[in-house]
Amino acid sequence: MINRVLLRTKIVQILYSYYKSDSKSLPVAEKELFHSIDKTYDLYFHLLQLSVEITRFATNLIETKRNRLRPTNEDLNPNTKFIDNSFVAQLSKNVQFNEFLKAQKLSWVNYPDIIKELYEEVISTDFYKDYMQSASTDYAGDKDIWRKIYKKVILMNEELDDSIQDQNIYWADDIEMVVSFIIKTIKRFDLANGGEQVLLPMFKDEEDAEFARKLLQSVLTKGDTLREMIDINTKNWELDRIAFMDIIIMEVALAELLDFPTIPVNVTLNEYIEIAKAYSTEKSSTFINGVLDNIVGQLKKENKLIKVVMFSENKKK
């Protein structure tokens, strides 16, 4: 689930905190990195849980209306298509989902206002109204409505965004990426799997975890060399005049360029330019692109930039 795009961002964030801290320790930095990754995986389950909680809220609302002193005909005969959603019913019985929530003690019980607001926003949308008015009921449609809810309501809700940041400092920048993982999860759901449907793992494979560990170690053990390379190529700038975040982003990019021969140069450059756009100044991406491009050119001339072309089994054939 947690891909290299997110891992690169987390490493930049951890290094920013590391350099600002008085106590500097590689083991502590590595522990902090993987703790941050663990918290992102928690957020995946916590946000996935919203589908069950919003449905529960809708169910309770229907029951409340049915039990009014003078219920209307609509109160007694409500449209239950939303609360009968087969995807949510399957998820609510998912073994992996429920065991994780219990183990990590993840709950929305203390945030009823958020659940209420999300529900009210959902029922105000045109896609919800179309879904409720449609005569057909099928599993694909039940999954589709929740993909839309996550993309158009949950992802865009500012109150939820603020609440998530208040609940855990590690979740502040992860919502958009995690919602994309949830949408992917919904697409993968198969009714035939019942409660045994497999959710996304923390890492696609151990290689990604090792990538994160090695990249962090590379920056911290070669920091002086990396900064010297940056200094030489920013001779018209004093390092203290360059945005601190820009220096960190360039350090990590250079460590990846030098120590990961199977990752193409353009992939590395593009990834860190995007991080600069999100986390540094308005002009940082252009500045970083120029500096790194110069360094790459020099490394190639000196035969210090070794890249190995990897072929998949299909390409080999």
Angle between the N-to-C axes of helices 284-301 and 244-259, in degrees from 0 to 180, rounded to the nearest 10? 30
Cβ atoms of 16 and 220 within 8 Å: the answer is: no
- Per-domain residue ranges for the chain? 4-196, 222-301
pLDDT of 310 over the 60 cut: no
**Residue 4 DSSP SS3:** helix
C-beta atoms surrounding 10 within 10 Å? 22
pLDDT tens column, 175-202: 999 999 999 999 999 999 999 999 999 9
Q: Which of 186, 198, 156 is nearest to 88 (CA)?
A: 186
Residue 89's CB: how many other CB atoms inside 10 A?
Answer: 14
pLDDT band at 24 (very low <50, low <70, confident <90, very high): confident
Report whether 93 contacts 199 (CB < 8 A).
no
Q: Which residue has the higher pLDDT, 89 or 243?
A: 89
How far is the CA of 197 from the CAs of 86, 87, 99, 116, in angstroms? 13, 11, 13, 28
Measuring CA to CA, how many Å separate 290 from each of 230, 273, 287? 11, 10, 5
Task: Kindly indicate the confidence band of residue 16, based on its pLDDT and cuts at 50, 70 and 90.
Answer: very high
Question: Does 312 have pLDDT greater than 60?
Answer: no
Read off the pLDDT band of 313 (50, 70, 90): very low
- Among the listed residues 152, 139, 137, 227, the one whose alpha carbon sits nearest the alpha carbon of residue 183: 152
CA dist 262 and 278 (Å) reads 26
Q: pLDDT digits over 243-258, tens only?
A: 899 999 999 999 999 9
Structure tokens at 217: 């170690």
Q: Are 45 and 101 in contact (CB under 8 A)?
A: yes
Residue type for 42, please?
D
pLDDT, one tens digit per residue, over 275-286 is: 999 999 888 999
pTM for the structure as a whole: 0.91
Select from 1.10.10.10, 1.10.1200.10, 1.10.940.10, 3.20.20.150 the CATH code of 222-301: 1.10.940.10
**Residue 120 DSSP SS3:** helix
pLDDT of residue 22: 82
> What letter represents residue 25's amino acid?
S
Q: What is the pLDDT of residue 81?
A: 97
Q: Residue 164: is its pLDDT beyond 90?
A: yes
- Tokens 């992939």, residue? 267
Could you give the percent of the chain with pLDDT greater than 70?
A: 96
Q: What is the Cα–Cα distance from 234 to 246, expressed in whole angstroms?
A: 12
The CA distance from 267 to 276, in Å, is: 14
* pLDDT at residue 49, as a whole number: 98
Task: Using pLDDT thresholds of 50, 70 and 90, give the confidence band for residue 308.
Answer: confident
Q: What is the pLDDT of residue 240?
A: 61
Crossing angle for the helix pair 139-149 and 26-66, nearest 10 degrees? 120
Q: Of 51-55, 137-141, 230-234, which range is least confident? A: 230-234
User: What would the two tokens of residue 158 be?
Assistant: 């500012």
- Across the chain, what does the average pLDDT equal? 93
Q: Which pLDDT does position 317 carry in this prediction?
A: 36
Place of tokens 């905190």: 17
- The beta strand positions in the chain, using DSSP E, are none
The C-alpha R_g of the chain, in whole angstroms, comes to 24
How many CB atoms are closer than 10 A to CB 239? 12
pLDDT value, residue 235: 79
